[in-house]
Amino acid sequence: MVKDRPFYLWVFLLYWPWGGSIQTKHLMFFYMPYLCPNLHVMIAGDGLERITLEAMVEQRKLQGRVHMPGWIEQPGRWIAACDVFGLPFSS
């Protein structure tokens, strides 16, 4: 966990049962590191879209700032450590 700088936790299922692609849904967090140079983004979760998301992180050269720990069994301490928390969903 990164606590010496702003910390943003984004929880993803990384699977969209309603169809579509992760590239068109909830990707504002990719711009946050550019807007706030010290920001680190954690993306918690696993699923079919993880490979796509990892490629997007690499393409934007954000490997050192976007962290993907995978599924977190006990997310409470991660959530408590956040400066900002996001839980995207589609209705």
Domain regions of the chain by residue span: 7-86
For the chain, the C-alpha Rg in angstroms (whole number) is 13
The pTM score is: 0.65
So what CATH class is 7-86?
alpha beta
Here the contacts of 79-85 (C-beta below 8 Å, separation 24 or greater) are: 79/9, 81/1, 81/3, 81/7, 81/9, 82/7, 82/8, 82/9, 83/6, 83/7, 83/8, 84/6, 84/7, 84/8, 84/9, 85/8, 85/9, 85/11
Residue stretches of the chain with pLDDT short of 50: 13, 16, 18, 24-25
